[in-house]
Chain A
Amino acid sequence: MTAPVLSVRNLRVEFPTRRGTLVAVDDVSFDIMPGEVLGVVGESGAGKSLTGTAIIGLIEPPGRIGAGEIRLKGERIDHLPPERMRRIRGKRIGMVFQDPLTSLNPLYRIGDQLSETILTHTDVDAGEARRRAVALLAEVGIPAPQQRVDSYPHQFSGGMRQRVVLALALAAGPELVIADEPTTALDVSVQAQIIALLKRLCRDHGAAVMLITHDMGVIAETADRVAVMYAGRIAEIGPVRDVVKAPLHPYTVGLMGSIPKPDADIDRLVQIPGTMPRLTAIPSGCPFHPRCPRAFAPCPTRRPELRPHGRAEVACWLFEPDMAEAAR
């Protein structure tokens, strides 16, 4: 039984305000195995980005990790002093953010930015660092890397920049790459390229991936397992095939149904009434119950926990064996 690369247990991210404490991520637990791609999918306000931010220790005050544990290869990394966290970031956890324009420093050549990362986190000299930078650029598909290594970010197109960002993320040989909406700002035709590249690179470098996105299509193409988040909690988590083709949680069912598909000839899209609740007004019990077409007795008052069901886990009273009887 291999040990997970990343282990998150009962993570809670909260924001104290003068009106009370708002909980944005509530009791979230999951593991990422070595070499695996875990997709974290959810709509805006679900707390998926905050989960990623919490893992790399970049939550801005007054936000804070209120409870829970985050372990990287067994070692606790939540609540580390900033200096130690800084060394982990980049070296052991690589990051890819959404906007390639702001991920790269416009004032420095990309070769210098790559070398800087390599030099900071590995024990090589400047010449070797540059050699590795060129090799990385070739690997991510930048044509003529020997020349382009001295270019500035603005001399690249959006897709090319995102490839450079991928190279940067992998430069120091991390065990885990956290990608937060890596393709959302790109054109459709480029998205597919970048996603395929991300998957291939991480497999070749032996890095696990936490892929955070709202785009189910990207998840279906790339991830091995997927966690569906709603109002700060995980509603369902399991192998991609199962969750996408046979979703269990009513929210996931609604989500999959509302995605327009090019092959289907349907009249009306499935729509989930209402909207994701705001942090100041999260419903009691199961947070999805006001919008759920199958809500029944325990849903408004008792909060369901993640329980195994087949190869997946789902947090829904419909799948609790004794509760399900009452539902019929």
Chain B
Amino acid sequence: MDAPSQPVKPDARSQGRLAAFLDNDIVYSFLRSKVTVVAAAVTLVIVLAAFLSPFIAPHDPFDLRQVSLLDSHMPPAWAAEGDRRFLLGTDDQGRDVFSTILYGARISLIVGVLAVAFAAALGIVLGLTAGYVGGAVDSLIMRAADVQLTFPAILIALLIDGTVRALFGEGRNEEMVFWVLVVSIGLSSWVAYARTVRGSTLVEKNKDYVLAARLIGLHPAVILFRHVLPNVIGPVLVIATINLGIAIILEATLSFLGVGLPPTQPSLGTMISIGNKFLFSGEWWIAIFPGITLAVLVLAVNLLGDWLRDALNPKLR
């Protein structure tokens, strides 16, 4: 008869701030998905380990005074002939595989993140411009995107690398290789960002709040970055997370092919490349452990990206 109002939990604002944060829809969906929590934890562990490598690696694999050929080709610590100093064994130079994985993961992550940041920045700027300005500028950018898509990423990377070698000769230092890698991988993946940002910009630019901003005489660049960008950036985050995995693998592939980072500053890919030569002689640990690390890292990042895409999709909420 006199039905009381529905028993509804109090509004977030009336709770404490921590409770409110945990109550947030996105955080809630994150905590509810065990897979995502595990993936996030794994990613966090690897990232932390990689960046704390100077402090936690038992050896410094690049310090030539510590590395000795006498220690080379040693199997993991639990095997016969293994040495407890070298947990996962050593490679052909005598470097500790475990330490090299830590340092290598760091390089792989840095290259991956920088490449993604570069691609995202380039893609966002081009996408915003194409969508807002329209006309010939839009056509130009989109045709450039079409052209870029016809080139496989590896081919682009090889092209740029080859060009740089030709211009600067073989004796270039490692700094340059690093940046060549970042730029190549970035250039091969900006299109996805540009396309989605352009599409969203086309929709947003006709909305009344953009008209209101134009009305008070704001410069188009200001409108683009302060008004439009926050509204089109959602999908970019999702693409970036998934692209991170691809970027890391791409870098590994390039290093494996020998056009990436050199053996003196190995990434996970380089290590797999080195270890590849010794697989058939029975020294599996040089290639397998970096390979597992790479696979786990990329898988965890991809799972995070999947969750992020679903969490940010308003229709699924």
Binding site for B on A (CB under 8 A): 18-23, 26-27, 280-285, 301-303, 305
Q: Are B3 and A282 in contact (CB under 8 A)?
A: no
B9 at the interface (CB under 8 A from A): yes
CA distance A20 to B3 in the complex (A): 15
Tell me the complex Cα distance, A21–B28, Å: 18
- Nearest-Cβ distance from residue B82 to partner chain A, whole angstroms: 52
A302–B6 CB distance below 8 A = no
What 10 pairs across the A-B complex have the smallest Cβ distances? Answer: A20-B8, A19-B9, A284-B5, A303-B2, A302-B2, A280-B8, A19-B8, A20-B7, A282-B5, A21-B6
* Pairwise interchain contact A22-B8, C-beta atoms closer than 8 A: yes
Contact residues in B for A23 (Cβ distance below 8 Å): 6
Contact B8 A26 (CB under 8 A): no
Cα distance A322–B199 when bound, in Å? 64
What residue in chain A is nearest B7 (Cβ atoms)?
A20
Q: Is the C-beta of B1 less than 8 angstroms from some C-beta in chain A?
A: yes
Q: Is there contact, CB below 8 Å, between A303 and B6?
A: no
Tell me, in angstroms, the Cα distance from A19 to B1 when the chains sit together.
Answer: 24
Q: How far is the CA of A291 from the CA of B3 in the complex (A)?
A: 20
Extra inter-chain contacts (13) besides given A18-B28, A22-B6, A284-B5, CB under 8 Å: A19-B8, A19-B9, A20-B6, A20-B7, A20-B9, A23-B6, A26-B3, A27-B3, A285-B2, A301-B2, A302-B2, A303-B2, A303-B3
Cβ contacts under 8 Å, A284 to chain B: 4-5
Chain A's interface: helix, strand, loop or mixed, by majority?
loop
The residue in chain B whose Cβ has the minimal distance to the Cβ of A26 is B3
Per the 8 Å Cβ criterion, residues 20-59 of B in contact with A are: 28
Could you say which residues of chain B place their CB within 8 Å of the CB of A20? Answer: 6-9
Query: A280 to chain B: which residues have CB within 8 Å?
Result: 8, 11
> What is the CA–CA distance of A19 and B8 in the complex, to the nearest angstrom?
6
CA gap between A303 and B192 in the complex, in Å: 56
CA distance A20 to B4 in the complex (A): 13
Chain A residues positioned under 8 Å from B7 (CB to CB) = 20
Please name all residues of chain B whose beta carbon is closer than 8 Å to the beta carbon of A19 when the two chains form the complex: 8-9
Total interface residues on B, using CB and 8 Å? 11
Q: How far is the CA of A21 from the CA of B5 in the complex (A)?
A: 10
CB-CB < 8 A to A301: which residues of B?
Answer: 2
- Do residues A283 and B6 form an inter-chain contact, with CB atoms below 8 A? no
Binding site for A on B (CB under 8 A): 1-9, 11, 28
Q: How far is the CA of A219 from the CA of B2 in the complex (A)?
A: 31
Q: Which residues of B contact A285 (CB under 8 A)?
A: 2
User: Can you name 12 A-B pairs with beta carbons within 8 Å?
Assistant: A20-B6, A20-B7, A20-B8, A21-B6, A22-B6, A23-B6, A26-B3, A280-B8, A280-B11, A284-B5, A285-B2, A302-B2
Complex Cα distance, B4 from A327, in Å, reads: 23
When distances are taken between beta carbons in the complex, the residues of chain A under 8 Å from B9 are 19-20
Q: Give the CA-CA distance A303 to B5 in the complex, in Å.
A: 10
Contacts of B4 on A, CB cut-off 8 Å?
A: 284
Contacts of B1 in A (CB 8 A): 303, 305
B-chain residues with CB within 8 Å of residue A305 when the two chains form the complex: 1
Cα separation A17 to B4 with both chains bound (whole Å): 18
- Once the chains are docked, how many angstroms separate the CA of A284 from the CA of B1? 12
- State how many angstroms separate the Cβ of B128 from the closest Cβ of chain A: 30
Note all chain A residues with C-beta closer than 8 A to B5: 282-284
Residue of B nearest to A21 (CB): B6
A9 to chain B minimum Cβ distance, whole angstroms, is 16
Enumerate chain B residues within 8 angstroms of A283, measured Cβ to Cβ: 5
* A303 and chain B: residue at smallest CB distance: B2
Residue of A nearest to B9 (CB): A19
**Alpha-carbon distance A281/B6, docked complex (angstroms):** 9
Report B3 CB to chain A, min CB distance, Å: 6
Question: CA separation between A303 and B3, bound complex, in Å?
Answer: 7
Find the B residue at minimum CB distance from A298.
B2
Q: Please, which residue of chain B has its CB at the minimum distance from the CB of A18?
A: B28
Across the interface, which residues of B come within 8 angstroms of A281, CB to CB? Answer: 8
Q: Residues of B contacting A302 with CB < 8 Å? A: 2
Chain B residue nearest to A282 (CB atoms) is B5
Name the residue of chain B whose CB is nearest to the CB of A305: B1
Contacts of B28 in A (CB 8 A): 18
The chain B residue with its CB closest to the CB of A12 is B3
In angstroms, how far is the closest chain A Cβ from the Cβ of B314? 15
CA of A301 to CA of B4, assembled, Å: 9
In the bound complex, how far is the Cα of B28 from the Cα of A201, in angstroms?
52
Bound-complex Cα distance A90 to B83 (A): 79
| Cα A301 to Cα B3 with chains together (Å) | 10
Give the CA-CA distance A301 to B2 in the complex, in Å: 8
Does the CB pair B2–A282 fall under 8 Å? no
Separation of A91 and B273 alpha carbons in the complex (Å)? 69
A26 to B4, CA, bound (A): 12
Task: Write out the residue numbers on chain A whose beta carbons fall within 8 Å of the beta carbon of B3.
Answer: 26-27, 303
- How far in angstroms is the closest Cβ of chain A from B42? 27
Q: Tell me the smallest distance from the CB of A170 to a CB of chain B, in Å.
A: 33
How many angstroms between the C-alpha atoms of A20 and B8 in the bound complex? Answer: 5
Q: Which of B1, B2, B28 has the most CB of A within 10 A?
A: B2
In the complex, what residue of chain B is closest to A22 when comparing beta carbons?
B6
CB distance from A221 to the nearest CB of B (A): 32
